[in-house]
Chains A and B, each alone.
Chain A
Amino acid sequence: MTKKINIKINILTSKLVLCLLMLFMLSGCSGGREINDLEIVIGMGVDKDEDTGNILLTAQVVKEGEMEKSSGSGGGGGDGKAFWNVTGTGESVFESVRQITHKTGNRLFVSHNHVIIFGKDLASEGLQKYIDFFLRAHEMRPTAIILIAEGRALDVMNAKPETEKLPAMNIAKLVKTYGFTSHFYKVNMKDFASCLMCDSRSPIAPLVGVSKDGDNKDIYMSGMAVFKNDKMVGRLNEDETRGLLWVLGKVKSGVLLISFPNKQGKAAFEILEAKSKVIPEIKDGKIVMHVKIKAESSLSEQTTAEDLATIEAFEKMQKAQAEVIRQEIMAAFDKSRELNADVFGFGEMIRKKHSNKWKSLKDKWDEIYQTIELNTDIEVKIQKTDLLKKPASPKKEEK
């Protein structure tokens, strides 16, 4: 009986010891990092170091203390900067990232990284060798937005915005709201890698620049950078970018401005909805891309005193808007031919629709792209005139 009790006590003691051991040994991950030890990175910039030719990596680290101060005093306080642009150099991106620890004392925490900006010089040299780290690192998110700086990425990251505390967050916000004008487009790391892996499609990425207004530096978006394979070969301006987005069906909203033949004013329309369908056709060895676009708009402003809310005026304005859209598309198409870069992904569309024929086209796609015919069919419908039926203008005497 005593023996049995002893065995039970022993089992109980072993269980207790095991529980205590588990309590101390399994209470956290061995790689756990306290929040105050984290260098939270919200944006990264990659440039070429002018002196050494190596990579110059800029990491925008959040200064938690300054963030609290500036929120408490309504945006001011301290040196006014809630961020620290810390740089590191190395022969690879990863080496540069680790070099930064010489200045920070902590490893960078890149899980909250929103934007990755590449300098124009690197983009022209080719991005393939620089993006690997950003796709491979386990903390990095594939949703991080890729941008190309008109000059150096470091300058873009140094430009302190007026309303936002953190430049990188400001840039991310700018890109995410592309839909207001559709003059540029959001491209994340996954999308960029996907285009890069295509046989024919040319990657694009939004361009960001810095303008100087006295002492102030402002960030602005200036269209899209166009790549051939992984090298930046040119750019699309705002209208050309929207022309591209019409075909891709990515136009969210924007302003369509039409002039009247007598030059007596303009009408501005807000794009409400846009849909596109592209059908590739191969006829007698000639490739024709049939682009069908359906858009809806609303009359948002008119600078003429004419009553535009009539059936005849609507018909005319719908046609005029379709013409504006067609011109934007053709401008984008002409530019893509000039750069010999298939930004529309026409080659990819042919691969998907006519895979057998694509095999013979693939190798000479650059030459074939120059001969493609674009056939547009654009239909615009004005949905509403907002709060006015007629413009507020002096009454004209009826004749």
Chain B
Amino acid sequence: MRIEKGNICNMQLLFLITGFVQSSISLIDFTVVITEHQTWMVILAGLVIATPFILSYVALAKRFPGMNLIQINDAVYGRFLGKVISVYYIFFLMMTLSFNILDVGELYATFLMPDTPFIYLLIFFTATCAYAVTKGLEVLARVSHLFVVVGIIVPVSTFLLLIDQMDFSNFLPFFELPLIRVFHGIHIMLSIPFGETIVFLMIMGSVNKTEGMVKNTLTGLLIGTSSLLIAAVRNTAVLGNTEAIWTSPSFQSTRLIDIGTVLTRMDFLIGIAQTVLIFFKCSLFFYALAVAVSQLFGLKSYLPLVLPLAGIEVIIAATVFQSPVDHAAITQDAGIIYSVPLMFVIPPLSLLIAKICGLPKPERGKGV
């Protein structure tokens, strides 16, 4: 039984993926501490390595048209093991969503509204996401291009405004860091902006035509990665060796904009972009979480779960880490480990099993 009744087109899928990848623009800060001036190459390496895995998600969605991840797990692994794997996915969705909500809270508490109680920030942001989720996937998809525009305009405009302060020798030497740090950075990149696209296995079942899904997914990934690259290049070229010391290199670099002493204090642009983009990502995660839980429990609609899940997410976000230092350390080291099987092992394995076993089995009387 399908819970989502709405359908989205291929072009909307492209915008959804682009916006989703762009929304990790603030999360590259987790990598900057490790990969410093080589962050740009880590992003590119992450894209190259993640692409085959992301294509396996698309192949899985095409093989099981109209089905979401929970249904695919049931079909491939059987009712019991399928449910266990689905619970693992739900745990991942739940934790990742709360971490992203926390990111917004930390952004506001550090830069924009330092005196506002942290919990208020979390509640209002989560409530906004919950409202978006109640409107359904179709509405989110219909407005996705607006988010993408923000995700392109802000990095490009701040890049241009800072061009006179850029020193491209900051990228030299190209290969200076120990390989272990580069691999660590690639791992973070693989897991955060790219691996998290696993969430689209909850959405791709609603795409009305499966043809062109590969092309649109790849285009979306490329556009989204371009925004990440522009931001990473801007930060390194402007901040140089200080890049790794700032809480948010993007904020710090845009705070340096000073065009004729008139065009200054442009960090509000980063504030707007990050809020809007993380809202978009959180809404997609929240939607996927609500649908996944409803599917697991065989509910007819995901709407009754939105409010309780929102409450749970706020509680997790407010209590899971003691401080932003704790948050960064766990995200960089531990957080990305538990998600690896979900992103890079189970989907290709599911595809392999489906191919070997000839899944999905044609329904009687319907043919393939």
Contacts and interface: CB of A to CB of B under 8 A. Distances in A.
Interface of A: 29-31, 135, 138, 141-143, 188, 190, 193-194, 197-198, 351-353, 355
A143 B267 CA distance: 13
A29 B172 contact: no
Nearest to B240: A194
A138 B267 CA distance: 12
Given A138-B110, A142-B255, A194 B115 contact: no
B176 A355 contact: yes
User: Which of B176, B241, B264 has the most chain A CB atoms inside 10 A of its CB?
Assistant: B241
Interface string B105-133: 00000110111110000000000000000
A352 B173 contact: yes
Interface in B206-261: 239-242, 245, 252, 255-256, 258
Contact of A29 (B113, B240, B265): B113
B169 interface: yes
A10 B265 CA distance: 46
Contact of B115 (A31, A141, A143, A190): A31
Given A143-B264, A194-B241, A353 B172 contact: yes
Nearest to B238: A190
B234 to A, nearest CB: 14
Contacts of B239: 190, 194
A141 B240 contact: no
Contacts of B111: 138
Nearest to A197: B241
A194 B169 CA distance: 14
A197 B170 CA distance: 13
Contacts of B110: 138
Given A138-B111, A143-B256, A352-B169, A190 B116 contact: no
Contacts of B172: 352-353, 355
B5 to A, nearest CB: 24
A153 to B, nearest CB: 24
A142 B264 contact: no
Given A29-B116, A142-B255, A142-B256, A197 B173 contact: no
B176 A190 contact: no
Contacts of A188: 256
Nearest to A353: B172
B214 to A, nearest CB: 40
B90 to A, nearest CB: 31
A152 B31 CA distance: 42
Contacts of B175: 355
15 contacts: A30-B115, A30-B116, A31-B113, A31-B114, A31-B115, A138-B110, A142-B252, A142-B255, A142-B256, A143-B256, A143-B258, A188-B256, A351-B173, A352-B172, A355-B175
Interface of B: 110-111, 113-117, 169, 172-173, 175-176, 239-242, 245, 252, 255-256, 258, 264-265
A138 B256 contact: no
B239 to A, nearest CB: 7
B357 to A, nearest CB: 51
Contacts of B264: 143
Contacts of B114: 31, 138
A353 B176 CA distance: 11
Contacts of B256: 142-143, 188, 190
B217 to A, nearest CB: 38
A142 B256 CA distance: 6
A141 B255 contact: yes
Given A143-B256, A143-B258, A352-B173, A198 B113 contact: no
Contacts of A197: 241-242, 245
A138 B115 CA distance: 12
Contact of B116 (A31, A141, A353): A31
Given A29-B113, A353-B172, 8 more contacts: A31-B115, A31-B116, A138-B114, A197-B241, A197-B242, A197-B245, A352-B169, A355-B173
Please provide the 7 A-B residue pairs with the shortest distance between their CB atoms, ordered closest to farther: A31-B115, A355-B173, A352-B172, A194-B242, A197-B241, A194-B240, A193-B242
B276 to A, nearest CB: 19
Given A138-B114, A197-B241, A143 B173 contact: no
B258 A190 contact: no
A355 B252 CA distance: 28
B161 to A, nearest CB: 13
A30 B117 contact: yes
Nearest to B170: A352
A193 B246 CA distance: 11
A347 to B, nearest CB: 13
Contacts of A135: 245
B245 A193 contact: yes
A198 B110 CA distance: 27
Contacts of B173: 351-353, 355
A31 B169 CA distance: 42
User: Which of B117, B172, B265 has the most chain A CB atoms inside 10 A of its CB?
Assistant: B172
A342 to B, nearest CB: 15
A27 to B, nearest CB: 13
Nearest to B111: A138
Nearest to B175: A355
A143 B165 CA distance: 12
A156 B245 CA distance: 31
Contacts of B115: 29-31
A197 to B, nearest CB: 5
A31 B256 CA distance: 25
User: Which of B239, B240, B242, B255 has the most chain A CB atoms inside 10 A of its CB?
Assistant: B242
Contacts of A193: 242, 245
A135 B110 CA distance: 14
A109 to B, nearest CB: 13
